[in-house]
């Protein structure tokens, strides 16, 4: 059984002006997402600025998410690290807190060989009982999970059940589907590729777009799940300019700016991320207006 089907939001971590986590706003954003059809909340991922949260904050944010969601949709907690030991610690704590699944990014900076990736993910998976979503985003980590590696993990580690594919390489993703033959659920990690990935058999998307357009993102994924790819393609193309604007600077700079434009008071970014350049903020604003969410 899949962890979820449809549109999961890679949710932002709202912050006060002083950079501390704004738990009240986080709760409000989660509530709005669930009301508008979001199928899963992915907390403390890239978009949630997990890399600049302390371990204590990281776990407190996961706890706040679990408490606000109250079991209504699955909570997938980002607990990956470039240190296997750290990832095991965060994963075990997230399981105690009550997360429904874990999202594990590939090791970054020190990276790993494919053999190292198998050892890394296997060690983490064996330390917990929760289902695990591998997270392949080589553009950020410099480390690519090859299709054979993902399939080897899925077939040999019982709780490695899914992968968030954000390589952007549709040929590689097609090879993954062919090799996996159903043993691994695949989620699109790129909002501009929801329909192509789901047309190949993907279960949904883990989405940045959903922060600012939850109902619309859910509609794209639902149309795919319903087999209405003509509607899904139209909806995907309508969102394309906004998808591009949300990544015209490194994520989550644009999406936090977009949330602030929508009045969510998502607050500032933590260093080393900086506020959006004025010309890019104008581009983002125009894309939001054209998409009729602003």
Known catalytic membership, residue 23: no
* CA separation for the pair 111, 170 (Å, rounded): 23
The residue behind tokens 């500032």 is 268
Helix (H) or strand (E) holding 104: strand 101-105
Considering 164, 203, 222, 256, which one is annotated as catalytic?
Answer: 164
285 near 261, Cβ under 8 Å? yes
Considering 23, 25, 135, 203, which one is annotated as catalytic?
Answer: 135
Task: For residue 54, give every residue at least 6 positions away whose Cβ sits within 8 Å of its Cβ, in sequence order, or none.
Answer: none
What SS3 state is found at 24? helix
User: Could you tell me which of 184, 127, 132 has the C-alpha nearest to residue 155?
Assistant: 184
Cα angle for residues 238, 243, 245 (degrees, 5° grid): 115
Q: Give catalytic residue positions.
A: 135, 164
């Amino acid at each position: 059984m899949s962890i979820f089907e449809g549109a999961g939001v890679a949710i932002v971590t709202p912050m006060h002006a002083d950079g501390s986590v704004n738990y009240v706003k986080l709760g409000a954003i989660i509530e709005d997402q669930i009301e508008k059809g979001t199928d899963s909340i992915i907390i403390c991922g890239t978009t949630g600025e997990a890399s600049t949260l302390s371990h204590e904050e990281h776990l407190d944010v996961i706890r706040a998410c679990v408490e606000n969601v109250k079991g209504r949709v699955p909570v997938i907690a980002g607990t990956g690290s470039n240190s296997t030991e750290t990832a095991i610690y965060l994963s075990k704590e997230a399981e105690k807190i009550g997360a429904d699944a874990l999202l594990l990014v590939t090791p970054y900076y020190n990276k790993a060989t494919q053999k190292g990736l198998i050892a890394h993910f296997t060690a983490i998976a064996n330390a917990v009982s929760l289902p695990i979503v591998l997270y392949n985003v080589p553009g950020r980590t410099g480390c690519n999970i090859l299709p054979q590696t993902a399939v080897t993990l899925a077939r040999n580690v019982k709780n490695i059940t899914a992968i968030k594919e954000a390589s952007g390489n549709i040929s590689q993703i097609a090879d993954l589907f062919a090799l996996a033959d159903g043993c691994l659920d695949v989620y699109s990690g790129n909002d501009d590729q929801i329909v192509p990935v789901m047309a190949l058999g993907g279960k949904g998307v883990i989405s940045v777009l959903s922060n600012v357009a939850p109902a619309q993102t859910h509609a794209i994924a639902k149309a795919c799940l319903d087999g209405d790819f003509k509607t899904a393609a139209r909806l995907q193309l309508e969102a394309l300019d906004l998808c591009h604007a949300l990544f015209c600077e490194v994520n989550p700079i644009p999406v936090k700016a977009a949330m602030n434009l929508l009045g969510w008071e998502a607050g500032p970014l933590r260093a080393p991320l900086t506020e959006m350049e004025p010309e890019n903020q104008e581009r983002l604003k125009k894309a939001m207006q054209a998409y009729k969410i602003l």
